[in-house]
Structure formats: C-alpha cells, structure tokens
C-alpha cells in the first residue's frame, strides 16, 4: 500500500482564505475587527521566525495585528503589566506569548494571567478544563492538536470507535490531542517515554499521532495496514547529502517506511506545521466572534 499524502500546507492555505473572507464579513456586519497581539521576549531566532509568520498570516486574514518585542532582561512585572493592558484592550481578541520565556520569568504566572477568552493558544487552566470536560464550544483549543484533528477527519471522516494512539503527553500537544480524539469517540491510548513495548501499542492504532520530538522514531513496521499517521514532530537533522553543514527537517515518523503501510500520512514539513498557524487565526476569529455574541464557525466543514 502507498499512503495518501495529507497536504497540510494546501489545507491550511484553504483555511486561511476562508478565515479572511469570514473576517471581512464580521467587520462589515459588526464593525468588530479581529485583533491579535503577539508578545515575544528576547532574540531567540526560531521564535522570531514563528512570530513573523504569525504576524504575516494575521495581516493576510484581514486582522488587526500588533507585536510587542521585549528585551530578554525585561522584568516579570513589566511583562505581566503588558498582559494586563492587552486583557483590557477591546481591540485585541487574541493574546499569544511566544514560548519559551527566559528563565527569570515564571511561565505559568504569565500564561495564567491571559484572559481565558483571549487565550488563543488554549493553555489557560480554564480552557484546559473546558476541553477536558467536553465543552469544546466554550473553550479555546490548542492550535496544533486542533489542526491535527482537522487533517485526520479530512481523510477518515467520522472517527467514532477508532483506536487512536497519541505518542507524547505534553500539555501543548499530547494531552489536548487525546482530549479531542476522546471527544470524537475514539478509544484513546496516550503513550510516553515510560510506555512498555511502544511498537506493539502503536500496531493497534487506526490513528497514530506522534508528538515526541525524536527524529524518525516511529518505524514503518509499527504501523497497522491502512492507519492514518499524523506526524507532529519537527526535528532538524544533519543532511550531508545536501552539502557540508546542511540540515533538513524531519518528523517523529520515518516517513518512507511508514508510507508503505499507512493509508494516509502527513509529511514534515508541509503537514501539521502550517495547520498550527491557520488554527491560531481561526481561534482569533472565534474569540472576536464570541466578543460580538456570534456562534462559532465549523471551519473543517467550510473547506473545499
Ligand atoms: P515535549 O518534549 O513537551 O513532549 C514530548 C513527549 O514525548 C513527552 O511527553 C515524552 O513522554 C514523550 N517521549 C519522549 N521520548 C519518548 C519515547 N522514547 N517514547 C515515547 N514517548 C516519548 O514535546 P512537545 O512540545 O509535545 O512537541 C513534540 C514534537 O512536536 C516536537 O518535535 C515539537 O517540535 C513538535 N511540535 C510541532 C508543532 C507543530 O506546529 N507542528 C507544535 C508543537 C510541537
């Protein structure tokens, strides 16, 4: 079997275009312009790239977008006071603090100060609780798992009764992914670094979500015939075949061997990554719509 390649990049482009149209409609009908504030502390090159692409996507979606860049020796107090101002600013519907923060700043103190209804990353304990309690319609859902779910549903349709194995138990990806799959009535296993006989656990999965951070760890002979494989991992490895000192990005799944067994699989790059930014835009539009008293849109059903 050769797997269908799930083109996350194309689906994310489609989703961003839908969001841009819906933002335009919202502005015309209510005068509410979706607003997002991205806060970055320090000069981490990878963080700067992420923040720049989020700002660009926001502009393309017709949003009001502001960036606050703080020096890496900024005090925690100054950062908390900025979050307080953004919480009170009616032009801002979504607040995102780019992680990681410098060591002298208490990350959870900062994230917990963000108003839950403006928490477009979905990391606030209120949003974690709502998602876990099955109240997704009131929660802000973390972007990477929400994007991964859209990709799985596009190829599989109804997920009810499917065996799903999520490898990784982080708060950002693994745990919310498991909560989303459970809400779709999957039978969910969360595997992690202490799981015994991981290949065997994965062999029982109709849906595999790999969020580990270990390059090409999941091998083809772990994959059940026809399974849907969602590779969240982003790992940079040496690529001497491209020239001296060159590198390339790979996922947590060994794509070539897994594609021989899987029914469908996301590539890295071009799979889950672009969906994450698109879902950040979707969450911002959702926050703006909720502020105007409007219902949530079902983005997955609006894609072409
Ligand atoms: P994390 O380091 O917080 O969590 C990794 C998890 O993997 C842990 O729960 C750990 O128990 C588990 N693990 C580690 N070694 C294992 C092993 N040998 N067997 C089984 N489980 C093991 O990472 P994270 O933030 O969840 O990110 C995971 C990966 O996803 C990383 O590569 C990260 O770069 C990527 N990521 C991608 C996006 C995206 O937009 N595509 C977003 C977030 C994270």
98 catalytic per annotation = yes
* Whether residue 162 is found in the same domain as residue 239: yes
Residue 182 belongs to a domain with what CATH number? Answer: 3.40.50.720
Same domain, 98 and 205: no
pLDDT, tens digit (0-9, with 9 covering 90-100), for 172-210: 999 999 999 999 999 999 999 999 999 999 999 999 999
Residue range of the domain that includes 188: 143-274
For the cut 80, the answer to whether the pLDDT of residue 265 exceeds it is yes
Q: Which of 121, 206, 231, 252 is catalytic?
A: 121
pLDDT at residue 275 is higher than 70: yes
Q: Is 121 noted as a catalytic residue in this protein?
A: yes
Q: Domain with 92 in it: what CATH number?
A: 3.40.50.10860
Task: Give the HSE-up count for residue 286: Cα atoms under 13 Å, Cβ half-sphere.
Answer: 26
Q: Measured from the CB, is residue 176 less than 6 Å from ligand 1? A: no
Give the mean pLDDT of the chain: 97
Tens of pLDDT, residue by residue over 64-86, are 999 999 999 999 999 999 999 99
pLDDT of residue 304: 81
User: What is the side-by-side strand order in the sheet with 264-265?
Assistant: 4-5, 264-265, 228-231, 207-210, 163-167, 187-191
Task: Collect all residues with Cβ–Cβ distance below 8 Å to 282 and sequence separation of at least 6.
Answer: 15, 19, 146, 299
Same domain, 63 and 171: no
Task: Please give the distance, rounded to the nearest whole angstrom, from the Cα atom of residue 272 to the centre of ligand 1.
Answer: 13
User: Is 97 in a helix, a strand, or coil?
Assistant: strand
Q: From the CB of 13, is ligand 1 less than 6 Å away?
A: no
In the annotation, is 216 catalytic?
A: no
Give 94-120 pLDDT, tens digit per residue: 999 999 999 999 999 999 999 999 999
CA nearest ligand 1 atom 14, residue: 193
pLDDT of residue 2: 87
Please indicate, yes or no, whether the overall pTM of this predicted structure exceeds 0.85.
Answer: yes
Task: Kindly tell me if the per-residue pLDDT of 1 is higher than 80.
Answer: no
């Amino acid at each position: 079997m050769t797997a269908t390649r799930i083109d996350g990049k194309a689906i994310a482009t489609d989703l961003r275009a839908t969001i841009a149209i819906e933002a335009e409609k919202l502005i015309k009908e209510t005068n509410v312009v979706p607003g997002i504030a991205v806060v970055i502390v320090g000069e981490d090159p990878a963080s700067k790239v992420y923040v720049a692409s989020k700002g660009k996507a926001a502009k393309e979606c017709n949003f009001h977008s502001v960036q606050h860049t703080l020096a890496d020796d900024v005090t925690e107090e100054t950062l908390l006071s900025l979050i307080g101002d953004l919480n009170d600013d009616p032009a801002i519907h979504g607040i995102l603090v780019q992680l990681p923060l410098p060591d002298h700043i208490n990350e959870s103190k900062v994230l917990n100060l963000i108003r839950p209804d403006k928490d477009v990353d979905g990391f606030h304990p209120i949003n974690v609780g709502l998602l876990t309690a099955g109240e997704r319609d009131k929660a802000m859902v973390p972007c990477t798992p929400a994007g991964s779910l859209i990709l799985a549903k596009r190829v599989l349709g109804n997920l009810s009764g499917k065996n799903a194995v999520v490898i990784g138990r982080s708060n950002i990806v693994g745990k919310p992914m498991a909560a989303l799959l459970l809400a779709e009535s999957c039978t969910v296993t969360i595997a992690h670094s202490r799981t015994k006989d991981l290949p065997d656990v994965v062999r029982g999965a109709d849906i595999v979500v790999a969020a580990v951070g270990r390059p090409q760890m999941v091998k083809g002979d772990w994959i059940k015939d026809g399974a849907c494989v969602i590779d969240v991992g982003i790992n940079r490895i040496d690529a001497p075949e491209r020239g001296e000192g060159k590198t390339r990005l790979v996922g947590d799944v060994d794509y070539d061997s897994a594609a021989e067994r899987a029914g469908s699989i996301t590539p890295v790059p071009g799979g889950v990554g672009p969906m994450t930014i698109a879902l950040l835009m979707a969450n911002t539009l959702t926050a703006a719509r909720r502020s105007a008293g409007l219902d949530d849109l079902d983005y997955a059903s609006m894609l072409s």
